Structures are given as C-alpha cells and as structure tokens.
Structure 1
Amino acid sequence: MSTIINVIYVIILVCVAWQDYKTRIIRNKFHIIIFSLAIVQMLLISEYRITDRLIGMLAVSVPMLLLTLLIPRAFGGGDIKLMAASGFFLGMRLILCAMILAIIAGSVYGIIMLKNRKRDRKDQFAFGPFLAIGLSIAAFWGNEIVSWYLKIQH
C-alpha cells in the first residue's frame, strides 16, 4: 500500500514540476491533493505519528518563508506550500532529506547554466522541478539515505 501511495505522490509531483517549469506557478489544488493523500496515508499506514507530520510540515516551509521575507522572491509561495504539504506527507526526517536533495539538484543545474552562459547569477528559475526531484527520491529512498548518512557520521 505504501508503494502505491508513493507512486500517486510522485505522479502529482511530476505534474507540479511540469506546471512550475512552464508557468512558474504551482496551483493550490496540488497542495490540497498532497495534503489529502497524506491524510489517507496516515489512516492506512501508521508509520509516522501526527506530531512527526506536523513538525515535518513546518521544518522546511517555515525557514523558506522566513528566507523569502528577508530576501523577496527567494522562493515562491507555491514552493513553500508544496514543502508544507509534502512535509505532512513525508514527516520530518524525509522532508529535510528532500530539501537537501532539491538544493543539490538546483545547484547543479545553476552551475551548469552559469558555466554554459545560459543564465546570469541574478536570473531566477523555477525551483519546483528540483523540489519534485528531491521529494520523489525521499519518498522512495529517503529512509535509506538518512540511515546511510547517520551511519557515516558515527
């Protein structure tokens, strides 16, 4: 059941990534669908407690919001809401893993674009596709990634 729910989640993320890439807007319907899917997941699979989901909902989205208040347009509102809904879906550990993976993916893209002179340092790009990459990887392999990381830290 967990795999089926994760596949549905990734299909939604593919739609989010495509829409954000094309329009730089992530529609609220996607956030609502992800949040609803998280509730279904919580009722069917009791892997994460509600407290972990609530912390996950805030762990990345609040820092993103604060950063955007300090640096306007650092993140779009859709990115912030996507991470809040996904934090409720994934829980605290996996949303942190997803954000790190998204930052790595976005950084690699940015470096390649700068190196090939396709973008300037001040240019903005849709971050939703990179969030979708990080979230998708975390949904399927996040626990293994976090366990590996914690193992190499000891």
Structure 2
Amino acid sequence: MNPLIVKGVVFGLLLACAALWDMKEREIPNLIPAMILVCGLIELRPAASVAGLLVTGGPYLLAALLTHGKTLAIGGGDIKLMGACGFVLGVWPGLLHSILSLILAVLTGVMLFGVRRQDFSSIRLPLAPFFCIGGVTAYWLAAAAAVI
C-alpha cells in the first residue's frame, strides 16, 4: 500500500479522535499530537516538517500568549495539535489547513451568534473539530497536487 495513503488515513483518524475528545472533554490529550508527530515520520521530509511545525503551530502559540486570560483563548492542546499537523503537512498545506479551519470556525461562530443572539464572546467552540476538517482536506488536496 502507498505510504502516503497510510499516512493520510492515520492522520485523519488521529484528527477525528482529537475532534471527538475535544467536543466531549474540552481538551486534547497530549498523546494525540504525539501520535500525529509519529505519523509525520512516514515519508519524512525533515526541513519541510520542521518548517511546517513552526509556521503552522507558531501563530497559535502567539495568539494564545496574546489572549491569555481573555475570553477568546486558545488552549495548549490546540497549539500542540496544530504544530503536530504542521509537522505532517509541511508549510503550504499547513497554512491551507489553518485558513480552512479558521474560516469554518468563524462561520460556525457567526451562525451560532445569529441563532442564539447572545454576546459573541460567550460562544466557546472546541477548535479540534475544525482542525480535523481543515487538516484532512489540506492533506488530500496537497497529496493530489503531489506537494506532500
């Protein structure tokens, strides 16, 4: 079986686990990003993987530092998850992953705001489900374009 297919399936399953866990427990266990990092060792491209980890995870770390103690907070699990995803995806697919995920999260937040008519800052969404959708989409788009 093609290693890229194995990597994509394992990556998708781990992201689905993170999404389900985050929706239920409102946290992402450290084991899931660690397993995603191990998944990234399949067909490893060291420079692209490390660059993807920094470029994809770095903005989430910065956002978490800037929003620390505020209502719009990003948790440590989200940072680790995105860094691990960047390690698997590389730079450009990692950026696509972030863009897709955040667009979905913002659109969902806006729709919930419209339905509930409550203070926008009181809407708290687990991000891992959006990271799951964005990550799987970015992976397979990049694989189809032979970027991974």
TM range (shorter): 0.7 to 0.9
Distance 2:88 2:118 in 1: 34
After superposition, the CA RMSD in angstroms is 1.8
Structure 1 residues 96-115: aligned runs within 5 Å = 96-115=95-114
Q: How many residues align?
A: 140
Structure 1 position 85 matched with structure 2 position 84: yes
After TM superposition, give the deviation of residue 82 of structure 1 in Å. Answer: 0.5
| Runs of at least 5 residues in structure 1 that lack an aligned partner in the other structure | 43-48, 148-154
SS of the residue 2:40 aligns to: helix
After TM superposition, give the deviation of residue 13 of structure 1 in Å. Answer: 0.8
1:40–1:119 CA distance, 2 compared to 1 (3 A): farther
1:144–1:37 CA distance, 2 compared to 1 (3 A): closer
Structure 1 residues 1-154: aligned runs within 5 Å = 1=2, 2-42=4-44, 49-72=45-68, 74-117=73-116, 120-123=119-122, 124-142=124-142
Distance 2:35 2:28 in 1: 12
Runs of 4+ in structure 1 displaced over 2 angstroms? Answer: 142-145
Distance 2:81 2:53 in 1: 10
- Calculate the TM-score normalised by the size of structure 1: 0.84
Distance 1:118 1:142 in 2: 38
SS of the residue 2:116 aligns to: coil
After TM superposition, give the deviation of residue 74 of structure 1 in Å. Answer: 2.3
1:26–1:68 CA distance, 2 compared to 1 (3 A): same
SS of the residue 1:30 aligns to: helix
SS of the residue 2:42 aligns to: helix
Q: Does the aligned pair in 2 maintain the 1:94–1:143 contact within 8 Å? A: no
Q: Does the aligned pair in 2 maintain the 1:97–1:142 contact within 8 Å? A: no
Distance 2:24 2:119 in 1: 19
